[in-house]
Structures are given as C-alpha cells and as structure tokens.
Amino acid sequence: MQYHFFVGNDNGNSEHDIIVDGRLIQQPNVNCGVDLLPWSEEQPPESFIKNLQDQLVVTIDSPSARPGMYYIGKFALESGELIDNLQVGIDQKSDMDLPIVNTLAQIAAVAVQKAFEEKKKIPTDIEIKVDMVSALPITQHTDESSSKFEKRYMDATHNVTVHLGKHRVAVKIAFDFTKVIPEATPVIFALQKDLSGEWREGDIFEEFVQTYGLKEGFNGSYFKDKKILHTDIGDGSTEYPITEGNKFLRQFVQGSHHGAGYAIEEALDEFNKLIHLAESPRQFFSDVLKNPNHKYYARAIKTLKRPLEAQAKQIIQNIRKQLTKSRNEIDIICVYGGGSILMRSVLYPMLKELSDEREIKLLYIPAQYAVTMNAQGMDAFVRGKIYEALKNKAKKTAVV
C-alpha cells in the first residue's frame, strides 16, 4: 500500500503535537529504547488499532537515528523504563534522535490505522511519501541547523516496524520535501484559516471580540494584514517573533530560555517530597497539572506558584524589549503555547496592563487551542502555496 501524507510537526519539549494526514496526535514527547516486546501472550493485532498511539512500540532502522526498538510517548512514560526526553534549555533539537524517532513512529502508526480503516485488515507493508513542515526554537534556528534537521529526514529512506502485539507491519517512509522554520511563525496561518481552509471563526476569538467590541461575524480575515507580536510559551523556550500579514520579519527574531518547563524543574524536588517520591520525570508533573481531578493536583499547583511568577516576569521583560525595538508599532500581542495555560492567571493581568498602556490589543488564546496552534499552523503551511513554491525552488536548485 502507498500513501502520500502532509505532516505538520511540532516537537515540543514536553508534548509532541503532530498532524498527519489531517489527524491531530498529542503525545508526551518521550521514548525509551528497549530490548524486548512488552507482550508475552498472543493478542489479536486488530485490538491495537484504535488506541495505537497510546501503546505504540516500533523498531526503527534509519541512518538518521540510533536503530532499535522503542516505546513511544504515553506508553514509554507509563512503562517504568528509563525514558529519554528533551532537556529544557540544554538539548539542540536538530542534533537529537528523539524528534526523529517519535516523528517516524507517529507517521507509521497513522499509516497502519489508515490502511486498516480502508481495507478492514492488517497490512503487511506500507510505503509513504511525506511532505512535512517542522520547526526549531528561534534560539536554535539558523540556516545551518534547519538545513541539517531537514537533511536528517530527506537524505534517507526510513524503515519502521510497527508492532501490533507479536504481529509486525513494515512501513517505509521517504520525505519528498521537509521545511524547518522558526517556531511560532506558522501560527499566523492557524489564526487566519481553519483545517478546511475557510476563514477561522468561533470561540477561539470570543474573549478577544468581547474585550475590544469587535463586529459580529468576526473571523480570521481580520489578521491578514495585521502586525502581530507572538508570544509562544513552551516548556523550554518562549519565542517572540513579529509577523506582518503572512510575512515573518527577520529583523525582529528573538527567543529566550524561559517557559513552564523551567518553573516545573524548579518546583520538581519540592513536589516529589510532598508526594513521597525520590524522583519523577518532568512529564509526570506536567500530566498532573493538566488534570484538576488528580490527587496530587493541589500540591503541584502549590509548589509551582512562585517559580511561575518568576518566569512570567522574565517573559514580560522580553516582550517589552520587542515592543521597544518595534517602536510599539504592533497591532496585536498574541499569546499561546502549553506554558501560556499554566501562566495565564499570573501573566494575563500583567500583559493586559502593558498592552492597554501601549494601545495594542491582546489576544490570549484559550486553553483548548493554545497547545496546538503551532501544529495547526504548520499543517496549513505544508498544504499552501508558499510551501509548494519553496519545494519547487529546492527541486530546481538540486537539478542544477
């Protein structure tokens, strides 16, 4: 079986948000190398299909990453094995195997699910051609690092075995073209258009419309000519690019090593003491914070308050720098990313005061959309005319 997938791939420090063939997958961005399959008894391979992303085990054979068998995402996090994750503020994503392995695994898993849905039986082998947009933090994004990351995908064919119990599906993945851009910059596409390519509307803009008394029937076309200061708060970094319409203004490139992950790292020891654990990974703390019903939620919030305030103040400082550099010629400050959810109670009042003072509108993306804005923007980008033009230009240059 053969497929052609468009992929928008946001490899965050904490979460992997990837849109493969129009399907959004959200998993902890972790894996672990193992020697044996976790299943001893025979199970029908069909039983794995529906929740495959939550029990994903693959074997990778690729020159771009360490070959071997891996538990991926949630399955790795819950396995009790020693996990591999992205170290906040330390790891260069373009050098790491983890983003490559997890990306290949998720693309292969979607292919297996799609083949089963279409044929109503487990395939034996699948070939996939991929067009992909991914990103690096602005603090790590250079011509050299982005080119290196792109080549790790494009310069080889990758073989992935997806394990459905003891049944194996062989998936061959070839990247026709990959573009690696600075994080946050593709979000302008997600603000303007929805997944079906229509002007975006709905509750994502509800607070913004009410706050500024904007007209009925408001939609994403509002942003097509606006100058926006983005504030993309992740785990390990915050990006502050400025876009005008669909253009990324390179003279305003800025990112900083601040984010929710630093606050979590600072609070982690105290949290572990409160729950009587010698240690637990950052992703476990993150999962507790996402679930107000978790028995440790109140203790997690208590240990996090002071470190979050410190990070929020640093982020405000960097926003002030960008405003000064741009002479306050900004229409909208737009805030999103997983860290923006945790920081909202602290950050929103500070930012609202700042934006009102500078006569700038504040669009603080609601929690249910904040995490996926980058992935949705990349998905819109990979399907658009700009990507097609970049791909054609690269192909012509390669031929010459």
Handedness of CA 174, 176, 180, 181 (dihedral sign): negative
Mean pLDDT taken over the chain: 92
pLDDT at 90: 63
Cα–Cα distance measured from residue 179 to residue 134, given in angstroms and rounded to the nearest whole number: 6
pLDDT at 221: 95
pLDDT at 287: 84
User: Which residue is it, tokens 């790491």?
Assistant: 96
Q: Which residues of the chain have pLDDT under 70?
A: 88-90, 399-400
Burial 188-219 (b: 16+ CB within 10 A, else e): bbbbbbbeeeeebeeebbeebbeeeeeeeebe
Cα–Cα distance measured from residue 231 to residue 226, given in angstroms and rounded to the nearest whole number: 15
User: Quick one: which of 252, 265, 260 has its CA closest to 138?
Assistant: 252
Bridge-based pairing state of the strands 227-233 and 332-336: parallel
Cα–Cα distance measured from residue 79 to residue 208, given in angstroms and rounded to the nearest whole number: 42
pLDDT at 106: 98
Give φ, ψ of 223 to 5 degrees: -90, -5
pLDDT at 89: 60
Burial 355-380 (b: 16+ CB within 10 A, else e): beeeebbbbbbbeebbbbbbbbbbbb
Quickly count: other Cβ atoms within 10 Å of residue 80's Cβ: 8
- DSSP letter for each residue of 130-196: EEEEEEE-TTT--HHHHHHHHHHHHTSEEEEEEEETTEEEEEEEEEEEEEEEETTTTHHHHHHB-TT
Contact 18, 10 (CB under 8 A): yes
Contact 337, 232 (CB under 8 A): yes
Cα–Cα distance measured from residue 309 to residue 246, given in angstroms and rounded to the nearest whole number: 33
Crossing angle between the packed helical segments 143-154 and 98-119, to the nearest 10 degrees:
40
Collapsed DSSP state (helix, strand, coil) of residue 283: helix
Cα–Cα distance measured from residue 172 to residue 162, given in angstroms and rounded to the nearest whole number: 11
Question: What Å distances lie between residue 115 and 66, 136, 163, CA to CA?
Answer: 27, 31, 15
pLDDT at 285: 86
Contact 128, 175 (CB under 8 A): no
pLDDT at 400: 57
Domains and CATH numbers, the chain: 2-182 (3.30.420.40), 187-376 (3.30.420.40)
pLDDT, tens digit, 9 for 90 and up, residues 368-400: 999 999 999 999 999 988 899 999 999 888 765
